[in-house]
Amino acid sequence: MKERAVKGLKIKESLIFERSAPDRRGIEPSYGAVPAIPPADLIPKRFLRSPDDTMEGFPEVSEGDVVRHYTRLSQWNFGVDTGFYPLGSCTMKYNPRINESIARLPGFKDLHPMQDEEYTQGALRLMFELAEDLSEITGMGAMTLQPAAGAQGELCGLLAIAAYFKERGINKKRVIIPDTAHGTNPASAHIAGFDVTPVKVGPEGILTLSSVLDVLDDDVAAIMLTNPNTLGLFESHIKEIADALHERGGLMYCDGANLNALMGISRLGDMGVDVIHINLHKTFSSPHGGGGPGSGPVGVIKALEPYLPVPRIVKKGDTFALDSEYPLSIGRLGAFYGNFAVMVRAYAYIRRLGPEGLKRVSETAILNANYIRAGLKERFELPFDHVPCMHECVFSDKRQNEHGVSTLDMAKRLMDYGYHPPTIYFPTVVHGAMMIEPTETESLETLDNFIKTMISIADEAESEPEIIKNAPHNTIVGRIDEARAARKPCLRWTEPKEESS
């Protein structure tokens, strides 16, 4: 097995303000025949800087300085294109480049959303067909692509549920959410105007019918279940729970952001689920994280279709159109129709893989997670070890704690070996959780090397815990004070202090 070599140039980069020299400039283009128009004639007055509003400290640098500065900063970054990124729940997988090229085809990239429908037929058709494909993959009756993120999808689905009950004159105020749900679920339910009733999962890490029955009454509008849940476990009682809820007139919401484990294998719609959201920017070929654009389509059963956001994309004969004539709709979620380029990637991904390919994605994602689970469970505490996991596995730091080493320490130490740390301290039901999601795109060598690295960290925890507690050692920036960074974020440039070393 080949070792990973983590060595190389580490260039310490000063702030761009510190690189400034008086009157240093980039190129100054000559505009030749174009007459100079004073900015004040072009820019509304309220946006103009007043003469006494000086720009002290504004960096004066050459073009080369700028290019090198930002290129170096970009090299400090770590991404799916750099290496293994097993960030649980986030599905940080390598995505095929061909889908990037397709999203950049001029016919897609140069479209303007205000263009006449006559000229946007291709884009409308793509979105229409993508919604149909996603309905097929998930078993739902109707789908909107409008939400721009998973969390906005949750809000959209819950607002549709609220509108459904309101139209029927039914007053239901509560949403039941288990402690293994994604953190955005209770926040979305609260913003949508519901009261959240938390419920604990059973000893096997999944929700049981009896714990639901303890809190279920006629006031419950919905149960929000994440499946697979954040422990990476399949919620195998979901159908019975949905049946019990339906008997009381409630609706079943399933957070389907973890579709990487389910595609082509099982469909949430067949499990009695009434509303789902999925994350195109996890499973369907757009990277998640980094604040980039996302897409959180929402699928519903037919009875909830009238409440989906407008506009909706409809097909009349051979033409496609945006239609806003849905009087019961919850309205718009944003300008236009969501993040189109993310949809193009998803469409290309689905069409290229086909049903068999999507199934293989999920099977491989599950196999890879179980390979890691099996490779590490001798050395790391695995709290829910009675069944295989789905697309991710969650370990605890209990054994390493005996040597004074915590999950945070081990996450930092992983950076020394060139890996992005897994998701840590989530889900909160596991002490010092390390949530590892390898995804389907990683090779056997990558998985083996990662397992070997984790085992060597477990060895270090026993023999030389100080190394881990002071990690990372090989990164440009060492251990930072995370509590202070979160509580007192320093977002403004201040005069650089004298360097002590």
Residues that bind ligand PLP in the complex, under the rule CB under 6 A: 89, 149-151, 182, 184, 226, 255, 257-258, 279, 294, 296
Q: Which residue has the tokens 């209770």?
A: 186
For ligand PLP, the closer of residues 89 and 449 by Cβ is 89
DSSP 369-395: HHHHHHHHTTTSB-S--SS--SS-EEE
Distance of closest approach, residue 234 Cβ to ligand PLP, in angstroms: 14
| Closest distance of CB 91 from ligand PLP, Å | 7
Instruction: Extract the runs of DSSP E, i.e. beta strands, from 194-293.
Output: 195-199, 220-226, 251-255, 275-277
Q: Which is nearer to ligand PLP, 146 or 184 (CB)?
A: 184
What would the two tokens of residue 413 be?
């130490």
Q: How far is the CB of 197 from ligand PLP (least distance, A)?
A: 19
Torsion of CA 63, 66, 67, 68, to 10 degrees: 120
CA distance 441 to 125: 30
Of 294, 344, 349, 305, the C-alpha closest to 327 is 305
Q: Concatenated DSSP letters for 60-120?
A: ---HHHHHHHHHHHHHT---TTTS---BTTT------HHHHHHHT-HHHHT--TTS-GGG-
Measured from the CB atom, is 277 or 469 closer to ligand PLP? 277
Select 122 or 292, whichever has its Cβ closest to ligand PLP: 292
Q: Which helix (H) or strand (E) holds 315?
A: strand 312-316
Smallest gap from residue 256 Cβ to ligand PLP (A): 8
Least gap, CB of 357 to ligand PLP (angstroms): 22
Q: Which is nearer to ligand PLP, 279 or 453 (CB)?
A: 279
Which candidate, 194, 339, 328, 213, places its Cα nearest to that of 253? 194
Nearer to ligand PLP, 231 or 330 (CB): 231
Q: 322 - beta bridge partners?
A: 313
Provide φ and ψ at 465, rounded to 5°.
-55, -25
In the complex with ligand PLP, the residue whose CB is nearer, 184 or 362, is: 184
DSSP string covering 451-472, please?
Answer: HHHHHHHHHHHHH-HHHHHT--
Q: For ligand PLP, which is the closer residue by CB, 258 or 362?
A: 258
Q: How far is the CB of 80 from ligand PLP (least distance, A)?
A: 15
Provide, rounded to whole angstroms, the least separation between the CB of residue 179 and ligand PLP: 14
Are the C-beta atoms of residues 220 and 175 closer than 8 Å to each other? yes
Amino acid at 316: K
135 versus 339: smaller Cβ distance to ligand PLP = 339
Q: How far apart are the first and last CA of the chain?
A: 40
CB of 199 to ligand PLP, least distance (A): 17
Closest distance between ligand PLP and the C-beta of residue 293, in Å? Answer: 10
Strands 174-178 and 195-199: parallel
Q: Which is nearer to ligand PLP, 180 or 406 (CB)?
A: 180
Report in angstroms how near the CB of residue 181 gets to ligand PLP at its nearest: 8
Contact present, 249 and 170 (Cβ < 8 Å): yes
Q: Which helix (H) or strand (E) holds 410?
A: helix 407-416
Cβ 383 vs Cβ 203: under 8 Å: no
Sheet of 251-255: strand order equals: 142-144, 298-300, 275-277, 251-255, 220-226, 174-178, 195-199
Min dist. Cβ of residue 257 to ligand PLP (A)? 3
Task: Give the residue at shortest CB distance from ligand PLP.
Answer: 150
